[in-house]
Amino acid sequence: MKVRLLSIGKDRSGLYEPAVQEYAKRLGHYTRFELVEMAEASGKRLKPGDAKAAEAEAILSKRKPQDWLVALDERGSLLDSVELSRYVGKAQTGAKDLLFIIGGDEGLDARVRDAANLTLSLSKMTLPHRLARVVLIEQLYRAFTILKGEPYHK
Ligand SMILES: C[S@@+](CC[C@H](N)C(=O)[O-])C[C@H]1O[C@@H](n2cnc3c(N)ncnc32)[C@H](O)[C@@H]1O
């Protein structure tokens, strides 16, 4: 199984990158894991709606036939950690790969949300996309430890 976490835009502050790298390393013990970063289209002087549409096209071009696409959005479904681990486990037993998508400053285009197998909310609050990436990657690590019955999750 392969898990990819695709995000739009860079962590200009550098605040979150060490945590992301730490959890990426840990996740690598459980699954093939890849971080994918794409440039924000808003930097290309497009209007916000056009930028989101351009990003949607680039995001959807990364989807492979065996991927379950999970779009991160504050209006999505709220799962607890065990429910997320079950979702990951279902993908694993179904020989599916997981492609998680975190949007940029403007959020995700409706085309990405519509194409998703799951729209996942981390909370009803809006998080900066880089912080959302840290929370998600920790929850993915947690999900694999739950699937293995390891004591990390209490
Ligand atoms: C700054 S937010 C964009 C907010 C934008 N106004 C919107 O309506 O989507 C950037 C990205 O971070 C992720 N994100 C932020 N808060 C989130 C939350 N509570 N749950 C899930 N994803 C979140 C989403 O992928 C979102 O597209």
| CA 9 / ligand 1 centre spacing (Å) | 13
Do 98 and 86 form a contact (C-beta atoms < 8 A)? Answer: no
Amino acid present at 62: K
List, for residues 87-136, the tens digit of each pLDDT value.
Answer: 999 999 999 999 999 999 889 999 999 999 999 999 999 999 999 999 99
Q: What is the side-by-side order of every strand in the sheet holding 2-8?
A: 32-38, 2-8, 97-102, 67-78, 118-121
List, for residues 24-42, the tens digit of each pLDDT value.
Answer: 999 999 999 999 999 988 6
Predicted-complex ipTM score: 0.97
In 28-120, which residue ranges form alpha helices assigned H by DSSP?
48-60, 81-93, 110-115
Q: What percent of the chain has pLDDT over 70?
A: 97
Q: Which of 123, 12, 108 is nearest to 58 (CA)?
A: 108
Tell me the pLDDT band of 18, cut-offs 50, 70 and 90.
very high
Q: Is there an atom of ligand 1 within 6 Å of 134 CB? A: no
Q: Is there an atom of ligand 1 within 6 Å of 122 CB? A: yes
| CA 26 / ligand 1 centre spacing (Å) | 25
List, for residues 63-80, the tens digit of each pLDDT value.
Answer: 999 999 999 999 999 999
| CA 151 / ligand 1 centre spacing (Å) | 30
| Domains along the chain with CATH numbers | 2-147 (3.40.1280.10)
Higher-pLDDT residue of 154, 132: 132
* Beta bridge mates, 100: 5, 70
Q: So what's the pLDDT on residue 45?
A: 73
